Every structure is written in structure tokens, then in C-alpha cells.
Amino acid sequence: MENKFKGVWPAMFTPVDIEGNVAVVELKKLVELLISQGMDGLYILGSTGQGVLFTEEQRKQVVEEVMAVNAGRVPIMVQVGAMTTAESVRLAQHAAKLGADAISSVGPIYFSGNQDTALEHYRQIAAASDLPFFPYQLGNNTMGNITGFIDELLKIPTLKGMKLTTGQLLEIGIVKNHVGDRLHLFSGADELMCHAALCGTSGAIGSFYNLWGPVCKTVRASFKEGNYALAEEFMLEFQKVIMYVLPNIWTFLRQAMQLKYGIDIGATKAPLGTMQKAWDDQEVQSIIDKIESMTEVSVA
């Protein structure tokens, strides 16, 4: 199995301008920042990247810009799930043409309750290229019989792993016990970064790694090496911060990225986050400092 699908991967923001178009300059700055910080890979155009809210051409533009800046330095996984299977297929083919390292996809957006529909959606996307395929797992409510669903997924030749966007450790354990070492499993819940490693995940994909990637990478690696005390202290504080900022998470992350890195990711594309309130810069900076003070890693 390939060893590049592991570690901490930011679910990368897609910066936008005031009109909701891709802010190319800010996008390039963000890609360069995350690569320079030693992130293990980049996951682009997922929920954090507002992928499904962009047009097909805008999504292709994002992939082109990210791939050009990256120039092969870290693996890139492109989320290609779209409103229609046909668009997802075209996006998968485009990612393959540009040399992406893998593709990922959410299930059918309006028809997620039907496993057969989801499986056919995934089959067609996976068949569009030879790239390693990482479908989403969104918990028991959208999967029903988890092991039965996994058995069908395993019939897809290019299936190499999954993005487990669930807050239930039991579900992660069920998947891991069922697939063994056949798949690379990524945790998609930031608040379970270390916990999920106990359930056999090889990596973590998350929104907060845009802001605190080096810190999170250090803590996760230290935990796997046996530093339980650091992981416990960090994860409790990290979870507290996540819960605190969650009602106004996008405005927090936008202000935090501006304060720390001088990168403006822009507002969310409506209707997402339109009622979120602005933060006081001093409070945002205090939260940033608190999280970063918990390790000795340099996050400049």
C-alpha cells in the first residue's frame, strides 16, 4: 500500500472575493503556507473548501491553481462530489489529467438515504480515472449497514481508503476492524484527531489544521509515540475551543487566518454562515495563543 496517505491534512479553505469568486492570490498564499509548514497533504474542495457551492469551471480553476503552486511537493486529494454524478465524473477526469494524487467524494447530495444510489454514484466516479478513490463515510444514519456497505465499496478497484466524517469512534472501529490494512482511513472530525488514531486511522483531515496545522501534527505524532499527557491536555482544550467557536466558526477562522497569517479567506458563500457574528480581534488572538502555547512547535 502507498505510504503517502497518512498524517495531518488540512481540509483547505477556498478563499473567495467579495463577489464569491475564487480569490486566486489568497489561494496561492494559503497553499504555499500549508506546504511550508510541513503538512502531510492537502484535501481540497471539501465542505470547508465550499466545493459544491462553486461552479464546475471554478472548481477546475481551484485544482489548477493548487496543483501549479504545489508542483508535486505534497500529495493532493481532490473532493469531486457534485450535485450530479456526471459533473463529479468530469471533475474526477480533470483531477486525473492534472496529476492529482487521489480523488474523494461525498455521497449523492439529495439522495443520500439510499445505499444503492450512493454506491452507483461512487462506482461511476471511481471508474472515471485510475486515481485512488476515497469516498466519504458520514455515519450510521447515512450508511445503514456499515459492513455491508463497505463490502460493496471494496469491489471498486481503485478504492484505497475512506474519509470517516463521523463523531462516533465505534463506527471508525467497525470500519477498521472490517477492512484491516486494506484501506487508508482518515478521521474527518478535528475533535477526535487523537482518539481516532486509537481506532486505526492513518491520518486526519480537518478544517482547523489550516490554522493550527503544525501544532496538531506535533500533538498527534507525540500521542502515537506515547505522550498521552500532552494529548490529553491538548485535546481537552482543543475540544473546548471548537465548541466555543462553533456557532460563529467561519467568522472566527476568517479573522484568525487574517491575524496570524495575513490571509483573507473571505466570507462564506450564502446561505452558509450568513448570520454569523464578527469576533473581537483580541479574543481571537487570545484563543490562538492559548492553543499554540500548549506545545513547543514553531508555527511561524
Digit-by-digit pLDDT tens for the chain (300 residues) are 458 999 999 999 999 999 999 999 999 999 999 999 999 999 999 999 999 999 999 999 999 999 999 999 999 999 999 999 999 999 999 999 999 999 999 888 766 567 888 899 999 999 999 999 999 875 444 446 788 889 999 999 999 999 998 889 999 999 999 999 999 999 999 999 999 999 999 999 999 999 999 999 999 999 999 999 999 999 999 999 999 999 999 999 999 999 999 999 999 888 877 789 999 999 999 999 999 998 864 344
Task: Give domain limits for the chain.
Answer: 7-225
Q: What is the pTM (predicted TM-score) of this model? A: 0.94
Angle value at C-alpha 257, between 253 and 262, nearest 5 degrees: 155
205 phi/psi in degrees, rounded to 5: -120, 125
Tally Cβ neighbours within 10 Å of residue 269.
16
Fill in the amino acid letter for 43.
Y
Q: Which residue pairs from 229-235 have beta carbons closer than 8 angstroms and sit at least 24 positions apart in sequence?
A: 230/294, 230/295, 231/194, 233/294, 234/194, 234/294, 234/295, 235/191, 235/193, 235/194, 235/195
**Fold assignment, 7-225:** TIM Barrel (3.20.20)
Which burial class, exposed, middle or buried, applies to 61 when counting CB atoms under 10 A from its CB (0-12, 13-18, 19+)? middle
Whole-number pLDDT of residue 140: 47
pLDDT value of residue 48? 93
Q: Which residues are 186's β-sheet partners? A: 163, 203
Task: Tell me whether the omega of the peptide bond preceding residue 271 falls within 30 degrees of 0, making it cis.
Answer: yes
Q: Residue type at 123?
A: R
Q: Specify the pLDDT at position 300.
A: 42
